[in-house]
Structure 1
Amino acid sequence: MRRGIAAAVLATAIAVSASACGSSGSTATGSTANAGPVTITWWDTSDATNEAPTYKALVAQFEQANPSVKVNYVSVPFADAQTKFTTAAAAGKGAPDVMRSDVGWLPGFAQQGYLVPLDGTPAAAEQSSFESQLIQQATYQGKLYGVPEVTDTLALMYNKSLFAKAGITSAPTTWDQLKADSALVKQKAGVDGFAFNPSSYYAMPFLYGEGTDMVDVAGKKLEFNSAAAIKGITTLKDLVTSPGVAKLDTTANGYANIMDAFGSGKVASIIQGPWETTNVFKGASFADKSNLGLAAVPAGSAGKAGAPIGGHNLIAYAGSDAAHQAAAEKFIAFMTSAASQITIATKNATLPTRTDAYTAAVTANPGIAGFQAVLKAGVPRPAISQYSSLYGPFGTELTKILSGQESVQAGLSNTTVQAQKLLPDYAAQ
């Protein structure tokens, strides 16, 4: 399978190809003299209502600028995309030439041989313009298998006016400071100072703050039972049971309840990602957008703040023929260019993945500007295919720990037992 095609070869390949991509199921027809444009299929997993219109408009721009390539745009629900792509790629039929993939899916797809390495191809020609940790997260076993399209991380969101009522002039930088500030907000402003979403993803900063993660890939160890992890989750449990912190909401509507409380000014701070900034600005407390404060998540005893990096990469299917892969690479380069990312950011309020896309027009959005400042605290996910699956057992036990159903030690031990089923070659602490 070819790995890179220079511009001249790309043009030749597109000109002589009449075959459709594997996802369309069609085959070449007619002679090369009568060949039409190459048609590639792109599965877009963005929100079909709020985000997809921007991507559809960019597809039209690409086709206008590249008449030898047509794009079959397919909106695929995010919840179905991973399984749907795996099924199609395994069968060798029906997979798209390009897909918008969650960063957590890439290692598994690459491990199974479903993706084309993009090193040295037109898709990765401007690799140096991207945030380094995002390129790291798009790499598997030393090869680049995706180009970052949008990114996200977690930050401390806070209500500046409520903090000011409590006499707090700056965001807390440690969990102990957040605990103290929450009690002060309750006392002075009469509302809860902090609310926590009891999900494993939102608990990751408490592990990173102690210098650990769910796994140690280099040592092939599960870290849930490590002293650092126990300390981090103990810190979290102490925080959510402290004065001034909202009662833990483990109901099915818990997430929405927390967001409503924050938007209406009933809670002064939360840990949240940029995907919620648009909704936050609709809240009564943030009609004046400048009232939203954004800061890096507080640090743990290791002295360093850390938050998980999420987002999406554009990936190319290894089962497509050379001409379609060449066209796919050209399309990926266009969709991840600075110009396209500026358009996506301004229209969809998402975070660009390359530094040159943070223009004045983009950072005029205070949510984007605020999250750009905390991206440096982002921690890439380890490049193992099972990593994202660990959030499940960790989340189940975390809820029990935080609601007092089991101790921190017991809950993390139970998590380890379940995690070993996913990573049987990893040793427990």
Structure 2
Amino acid sequence: MRRGISIAAAVCALALTATACGSDDDEGSNGKAKDAKDISGSLTYWDTSDATTEAPVYKKLIADFEDKYPKIDVNYENIEFASIEQKFKSAAKTGKGAPDVMRADVGLIPEYASLHYIAPLDGTLALKGGTEDFTEGPLNTTKYQGKTYGVPSVTDTLGILYNKKLFKKAGVEKAPTTWDEFIETSKTIKKKTGVEGTYLNPDSYFLLPFLYGEGTDLADTRTKKITINSPEAVKAVTTAKKVYDQASAKVDFANAYDNMQTSFKNGEVAMLIQGPWSVTDDLSGKAFKGDEGNLGFAPVPAGSTGKPQAPTGGHDLTVYQGSKNLDAAYLFTQFMTSSKSQQKIAAETATLPTRESAYTPEVTKDARIKGFHPIMKSARPRVALPQVGSLFTPLVQQYTKILQGDVSVKSGLDAAAKDFKKLLPGYTISS
């Protein structure tokens, strides 16, 4: 799935080297001074926001952009999140039909950059005004080999979502801060209320807080080592297995996410490790509908490092390196990620901004944003590997076997490491 740069993309990259790197805020892609009002052309924007609840907000912003820059026309296309990756790769590889600007999952930036499908943005209009206002976690997702390939648009991470009434009924005064406390809290809630304490999501993405809590990751790019079977990783997955065995409701592996969500929002589970994308759905359930204050927020539990850490998620805006309208694309990217635009988006969609200045009193009065804003300070980017998305597939296969008791933690992670080796040429496996 992860391939090297195609010949067509390589030729495109060489042709665009001189046009993708302006040197100051007011320069166009040809290096000559250009006022933003003079930029003209048409561009296509692929957006993966929710077509019903979020897309109308983006369409309004695009209309504002076109009013401000009447010489630029924007063709908006809402693309399903599940299909956009393959659709973009196919278009970028062939050089036919790729969008000028795209909203990309933060985990895909290294791969797109390594393939030369997206343009470096340092020194272009896309980053006019610098990057100081962007929060550290989202900004770090845009980097690959020392260059910036995206502009943070919206962000998220994982935290504890919990039912305050169930906690109070069980005599639990605060959210757990360690995984041992997480297990004990779950047991106490089950004993005192009869309600399940938690529901472990068996997806490998949700394993990351366990790994980060032990100071490890899927791999180490500095030493070129696969670390998924390191002693620290074994300890992390052993902890996850303990949560599954001692604290979790029974997991239906075929439909785990939906069952987890239904159980939590209906008051049948007291707490989850979950992200802000779920909160609107949570508030629609009988446990929280009409009682939004019953939903509590807290960072993920810490491992032996003492630091609660979860992956930085969200989306960055990227510019197709083969765009025939780079100046317009850069300007559009700047406009859509400005503090003013992010405030509008957050106020109407409850998604988390990536600029600190966008966390205004108006924005943070929304409990969903207020709850996750401090949690974002403990977020960290996923390992910056082009193949990172592919690594989750063999990992979830082995993680499932581990949770179900089919293999030991060590043997399952050793098997995952061998599969990682096939995807990471030049990497060694931790002994």
With the length of structure 2 as denominator, give the TM-score of the two structures: 0.91
Query: What is residue 13 of structure 2 aligned with on the other side?
Result: none
Per-residue CA deviations over 1:111-170 (Å, capped at 9, x if unaligned) read 111222111222112311101222121011111110000011000111111011111111
2 CA distance for matches of 1:221 and 1:6? Answer: 39
Partner-residue secondary structure (3-state), 2:53: coil
DSSP-derived class of the 2:160 partner: strand
Q: 1:246 deviation in Å?
A: 0.9
Tell whether the 8 Å contact from 2:150 to 2:318 is kept in structure 1 after alignment.
yes
Name stretches of at least 5 consecutive residues in structure 1 with no aligned partner.
18-36
In the aligned structure 2, how far is the partner of 1:133 from the partner of 1:16? 34
* Number of aligned positions between the proteins: 406
Q: Distance in 2 between matches of 1:303 and 1:106?
A: 29
1:315 alignment partner, SS class: strand
1:363 is aligned to 2:364: yes
Structure 1 residue 249, shift from structure 2 partner = 2.3
| Structure 2 residue 57 is matched with structure 1 residue 54 | yes
Superposed, which structure 2 residues align to 1:4-403 within 5 Å? 4=22, 6-7=25-26, 9=28, 37-126=40-129, 127-242=131-246, 244-251=247-254, 253-287=255-289, 288-321=291-324, 324-403=325-404
Q: Is the Cα–Cα contact under 8 Å of residues 36 and 331 in structure 2 kept in the other structure?
A: no
Contact 1:161 1:291 in 2 (8 A): yes
Query: CA contact under 8 A between 1:401 and 1:408: conserved in structure 2?
Result: yes
Write the distance in 1 (CA, Å) between the matches of 2:27 and 2:219. 45
> Contact 2:25/2:123 (CA < 8 Å) preserved in 1?
no
Deviation at 1:49, TM superposition (A): 2.1
Kept in 2, the 8 Å contact 1:183–1:245? The answer is no
For the Cα contact (< 8 Å) 1:139–1:145, is it kept in 2? yes
Alpha-carbon contact 2:101-2:329 (below 8 Å) kept? yes
Contact 2:137 2:376 in 1 (8 A): no
Identity of aligned residues (%): 48
CA deviation after TM superposition for structure 1 residue 95, in Å? 1.3
Following superposition, the deviation at residue 298 of structure 1 comes to 0.2
Q: Deviations over 1:14-50 (max 9, x none)?
A: 8888xxxxxxxxxxxxxxxxxxx41111111222222
Give the equivalent residue in structure 1 for 2:425: 424
State the shift of 1:217 in Å. Answer: 0.8
- How far the C-alpha of 1:93 sits from its partner, in A, is 2.2
Instruction: Give the letter aligned to residue 95 of structure 2.
Output: G
**How large is the RMSD of aligned CA atoms in angstroms?**
1.6
Give the TM-score taking structure 1 as reference length. Answer: 0.91
Given residue 411 of structure 1, which amino acid in structure 2 is its aligned partner? G
State the 1:424 CA deviation. 2.3
Q: Structure 1: how far apart are the matches of 2:178 and 2:27?
A: 55
Change (3 A) 1:12 1:217: closer
Contact 1:154 1:272 in 2 (8 A): yes
* 2-structure distance, mates of 1:152, 1:400: 29
Secondary structure, aligned partner of 2:113: helix
Equivalent residue number for residue 8 of structure 2 = none
Q: Write the letter of the residue equivalent to 1:336.
A: T
- 1:99 is paired with a residue whose SS is strand
Instruction: State the alpha-carbon separation in 2 of the partners of residues 64 and 227 from structure 1.
Output: 57
Deviation at 1:75, TM superposition (A): 1.6
Distance 1:356 1:133, change over 3 A: same
Which residue of structure 1 aligns with residue 15 of structure 2?
none
Displacement, 1:281?
0.7
Please say if residues 137 and 382 of structure 1, whose CA atoms lie closer than 8 Å, have aligned partners that are also in contact.
no
Q: Indicate the SS of the match to 2:186.
A: helix
Secondary structure at 2:103 match in 1: strand
Paired residue type of 2:306: G
Q: Distance in 2 between matches of 1:124 and 1:228?
A: 38
What SS class does the counterpart of residue 7 from structure 1 fall into?
coil
Tell me which residue corresponds to 2:7: none
Q: Aligned equivalents of 1:413 and 1:343: distance in 2? A: 47
The 1:297/1:15 distance shift into structure 2, 3 A limit, reads closer
The letter for the 1-side match of 2:45 is W
What SS class does the counterpart of residue 373 from structure 2 fall into?
A: helix
Alpha-carbon distance in 2 for matches of 1:211, 1:65: 47
User: Do the aligned partners of 1:14 and 1:69 also contact (CA within 8 Å) in 2?
Assistant: no
Q: Which amino acid aligns with 2:216?
A: T
Q: Is the 8 A contact 2:153 2:342 kept in 1?
A: yes
Name the CA distance, whole Å, in 1 between partners of 2:205 and 2:104: 18
CA distance in 1, matches of 2:251, 2:87: 35
**In structure 2, how many angstroms separate the alpha carbons of the residues matched to 1:307 and 1:66?**
39
State the one-letter code of the partner of 2:64. Q
Are the counterparts in 1 of residues 46 and 76 from structure 2 also a CA contact under 8 Å? yes
Unpaired segments ≥5 residues, structure 2: 1-17
How far the C-alpha of 1:102 sits from its partner, in A, is 0.7
